[in-house]
Structure 1
Amino acid sequence: MRFSVTIVLILVLSAVGLTYEIAAGRVLAPFFGTSLLTWTTVIATVLGGFSLGSALGGIVAERPRAKALRDVRTALVATAVLMAVSPTLLGIVHASGARGTGGMMLSVILVFFPASVCVTIPSPLLAKLAIEARPGREGSSLGFVLAAGSVGAILGAVLAGFVTLPLIGATATFAVCGAAALLCLPFLRGADRGTPGVTIAAAGFVAFAGIAGNPACQYESGLSCLHVSQRGPEVRLISDGTIQAAEIVGPETEGVDQVDLALSYTDWLWARMNRDLAQDASVLFIGGGGYSLPTKLLSSRPAARAVAVEIDPLVTEVVRRHMPRASEMIERTGFVAPADADEDGRLRIVHADGRVFLNETEGRFDAAVMDAFSSGSVPAHLVTVETFARLRQIVDGPVYVNLLDAPDGPLARGVQAILRDVYPHVLAVRGEVNARGRTNVLFAASPSPLATLPPGPDGYAPAQIADARAFTDDRGWVGHR
């Protein structure tokens, strides 16, 4: 085999391996969310598979050449099938009852470990062939082999994050990975080709999986896995398996002038905002979600203004398609603008990371609502002392925060510690605890005293939260569920 061919094959298989790893993290989201824990499990499992595959591949490389090539071809066929079937296997494991952290770890190992082993088995033989192709230049040959593996991994990461996952989705990405593995087969000559029908069947299966396989997400981008569901008059926006927003629609409430909030936590936040804010308030919303609260604010206060910072343009697009109240408000008063724009309108939508916006904005606001989520938790960089210190600089009035955690969980404790460090007046309430032991924990923090509210939504009561260390950029929330 020519040296250049071995290098290209190593590069391609390394790219396939990294693309598969990143796609694995994405396809987990609808079932188990995304967090530091899920990504740690995926990376550790896939790297473990790569390690075992390299060891097994080394044994294969020492066999007689014809047998080694046959084994490598078999490994590539297995790689293609296992990668293409990964989303289906994950759904089966989840349907069988895998839940929680333990279920997530078991699912990752059962679904993604075997393909990670198989995709790496060819590498030692290819490295051996590369060195043999240039007698007397073993050192530089080995260096090129290692470089090809690294470059392939970089290409795979870039392709997954910027091309395949945003454009074709996770299910098709797995099928593309399988197809790439099969395309390596014609270059592995000099062995008994085995049964051609097996290879043809594998190719057909991979093609079928990519075309006919159920997408992991109804709407998918590099940042979000979204589903929209409707139960009676209620439209729900679900991101990575967690309800992000809901809107009640019906013929009796046509138009945005009558906006009913569907989620109980938004009722409490609105009651707080309605009590605290002036008619012409300017409010910053970090996290667009379903744009329910901005819609309620602007419909109730014709002189109010809002800036909604949403990291993913796809969320805004889906809201405009499926949530008529928010969509009508966006059409009537909203416009999308860059983070540094100074246009003055009732609803300015900024597609940017919330922390980046806070760092760069020169605007001032009367209040802020922190309601940004990545799957079932708040991004760690949005719950630090530095974040809320910056909010205190640009927001003259109260700040409202929504979390999902246990009633006295580590996230709630850390955020309360932050707010008490930055604001003199802090109150917290919590909703009803669900079957997973989690609930909405809501905070209001202000430079001035907060007035007492009348009884709020059913199930919300003052939260008893213990003291804890405040999160910082250096030692932040790790996202464990």
Structure 2
Amino acid sequence: MLSGVGLTYEIAAGRVLAPYFGTSLLTWTSVIATVLGGFSLGSAIGGFVAERPRPVAVRNVRAALVATAVLMAVSPTLLGAFHASGARGTGGMIVTVLVVFFPASVCVTLPSPLLAKLAIEARPGREGSSLGIVMAAGSVGAIFGAILAGFVALPLIGATATFAACGALALLCLPFLRGGASAQPGVTVAAAGFVAFAGIAGAPTCQFESGLSCLHVDDRGAQVRLVSDGTLQAAERKRVGEADDNNVELALSYTEWLWSRMDRDLGPEASVLFVGGGGYSLPTKLLASRPGAQAVAVEIDPLVTEVVQAHLPQAGAMIDRTGYDVTGRASGRRLGIAHADGRVYLNETQRRFDAAVMDAFSSGSVPAHLVTMETFERLRDIVDGPVYVNLLDRPDGPLARGVNAILRQVFEHVEVVDAAEIQTGRVNVLFAASNAPLAPLDRLPEGYRSIRISDARAFTDDRGWVGHR
């Protein structure tokens, strides 16, 4: 059981970190290294504990289980407190991960050596098979914990309740520890009460949560804003007066440039692929302004679509009116929705498109497998016209340079603009790439400028983008 608790905790730790520090190769590396480091230290300390007299060893293991329960249940609160205190960037993320997740990782594995010793002593003369069974049981428990976290706990009950559940499972191990000094029921009851309080009364990390997304809807002010893992994903201006379904206003400046480019480049019956549904703002604008156009939006998380339908009025109305599942028949509808990974859809689709918009994000960065040479070569094979790309990066940053290198190798004509800096020091870097010449725009949205990106190595599936931190 403890192995399952440990792996569930590890996966939940990576998930709950996203709203504060994003999701990238660096964040997951930090979480995995920290938790495995805790497991290692806990096993080492547990080995010394197992050599103590039985009553002392059992008492120490009971204390470790109680500490595990409390530390796991309080993890989301500690994480929020560190972020609120100013922890930012790679250094702040690493310190936060160490302080928040390392102690519980030590405590959860401390009982393991004693349990292995007890199993060996129970079968004299068969020490080898006993130890093998214990190790196999630990591996099976870890597999079960990983599956439970990713497929059940996080999608169904959320991160805060998952941490509390891990603590509760640790406490449930206490009755199985027999021998030694009698347990202190007051301490156990207090720990159980704290874990229950943390699970029930603890503030959820996310307003809407799935195994893929942590979403918040900000309905204050003149806009409805959709935030995913702490990064602004989409926005709609609130309508004043009678609604006009054919007049869709774009709230974010980067979408204004993308739409200006699309409006200039595409015909009245264009078929456009959108990799990354987000707030469905651009598909909504396309279909509202071009009654003969069609769109397919590939959004990996069904929860995003559900939240958009419920809280972004214009996009939600468009989905309700003309959206359909691309695995079924269109029945005269024009907005196909595929809940799938963008790269998987690209690899499997047999459809052809007049243009494509690459606007998929995981937290504050583009998933690495969507910015590789192989991805854009596949796009070139199924898209007859231009490809538009939205990135967040530092001005002339490494992500922009790698994507620029890809596009200039795959397409004959590439246009690049960027916008004013945002709070993180990164900007929207926008590309339009085509094998046909791109007609110049009459004007750029306010704050945008044409730029030149430095030369760099193109990303590939083998040597790709590692993500922002």
| Residue 89 of structure 2 corresponds to residue 88 of structure 1 | no
Matched-pair contact (CA < 8 Å) for 1:253–1:259: no
Unmatched runs of 5 consecutive residues or more in structure 2: none
Shift of 1:343: 6.7
Q: Are the structure 2 counterparts of residues 237 and 223 from structure 1 closer, same or farther at C-alpha, using a change threshold of 3 Å?
A: same
Deviates more, 1:192-201 or 1:426-435: 192-201
SS in 2 for 1:251: coil
Matched-pair contact (CA < 8 Å) for 2:206–2:214: yes
| Residue 450 of structure 2 corresponds to residue 462 of structure 1 | yes
Q: Are the structure 2 counterparts of residues 312 and 433 from structure 1 closer, same or farther at C-alpha, using a change threshold of 3 Å?
A: same
Match of 1:209 in 2: 198
Matched residue type, 1:431: A
Match of 1:153 in 2: 142
Counterpart CA distance in 1 for 2:390 and 2:188 is: 52
**For 1:328-371, what per-residue CA distance to the aligned partner results, in whole angstroms no more than 9, with x for missing partners?**
11111111232x86776311111111111111111011000000
Matched-pair contact (CA < 8 Å) for 2:298–2:342: yes
Counterpart CA distance in 1 for 2:332 and 2:276 is: 20
Match of 2:111 in 1: 122
Matched residue type, 2:190: A
SS in 2 for 1:284: strand
Match of 2:310 in 1: 321
Matched residue type, 2:409: D
**For 1:36-77, what per-residue CA distance to the aligned partner results, in whole angstroms no more than 9, with x for missing partners?**
000000000000000110010001000000000000000000
SS in 1 for 2:234: strand
Number of paired residues?
Answer: 469
Match of 1:169 in 2: 158
2:404 to 416, 420, 434: 416
SS in 1 for 2:124: coil
Counterpart CA distance in 2 for 1:475 and 1:206 is: 43
Matched-pair contact (CA < 8 Å) for 2:330–2:336: no
Counterpart CA distance in 2 for 1:392 and 1:464 is: 23
Counterpart CA distance in 2 for 1:224 and 1:388 is: 25
Q: Which runs of 4+ in 1 moved over 4 A?
A: 340-344
| Residue 436 of structure 2 corresponds to residue 448 of structure 1 | yes
Match of 2:187 in 1: 198
Matched-pair contact (CA < 8 Å) for 1:57–1:125: yes
Matched-pair contact (CA < 8 Å) for 2:364–2:468: no
Match of 2:42 in 1: 53
| Residue 381 of structure 2 corresponds to residue 381 of structure 1 | no
Shift of 1:427: 0.8
TM-score, normalised with respect to structure 1? 0.96
Match of 1:262 in 2: 251
SS in 1 for 2:333: coil
Matched-pair contact (CA < 8 Å) for 2:273–2:297: yes
Match of 1:427 in 2: 415
**For 1:152-189, what per-residue CA distance to the aligned partner results, in whole angstroms no more than 9, with x for missing partners?**
11111000000000000000000000000000001111
Matched-pair contact (CA < 8 Å) for 1:407–1:464: no
SS in 2 for 1:181: helix
SS in 1 for 2:161: helix
Matched-pair contact (CA < 8 Å) for 2:324–2:330: no
1:23 to 5, 12, 34: 12
Shift of 1:399: 0.3
Match of 1:181 in 2: 170
Shift of 1:463: 2.1
SS in 1 for 2:225: strand
2:263 to 264, 274, 293: 274
Matched-pair contact (CA < 8 Å) for 1:441–1:463: no
SS in 2 for 1:445: strand
Counterpart CA distance in 2 for 1:341 and 1:106 is: 51
Task: State how 1:211-290 maps to structure 2 within 5 Å.
Answer: 211-252=200-241, 254-290=243-279
1:347 to 322, 325, 335: 335
**For 1:127-164, what per-residue CA distance to the aligned partner results, in whole angstroms no more than 9, with x for missing partners?**
00010010010110111111111111111100000000
1:108 to 94, 97, 113: 97
Q: Are the structure 2 counterparts of residues 393 and 253 from structure 1 closer, same or farther at C-alpha, using a change threshold of 3 Å?
A: farther
Sequence identity percentage = 75
Match of 2:466 in 1: 478
2:281 to 280, 292, 303: 292
Counterpart CA distance in 2 for 1:406 and 1:443 is: 15
Match of 1:14 in 2: 3
Q: Are the structure 2 counterparts of residues 235 and 253 from structure 1 closer, same or farther at C-alpha, using a change threshold of 3 Å?
A: farther
Matched-pair contact (CA < 8 Å) for 1:255–1:325: no
Matched-pair contact (CA < 8 Å) for 1:256–1:326: no
Deviates more, 1:188-197 or 1:215-224: 188-197
2:357 to 351, 369, 376: 369
Deviates more, 1:199-208 or 1:227-236: 227-236
Q: Are the structure 2 counterparts of residues 314 and 189 from structure 1 closer, same or farther at C-alpha, using a change threshold of 3 Å?
A: same
SS in 2 for 1:299: helix
Counterpart CA distance in 1 for 2:385 and 2:333 is: 20
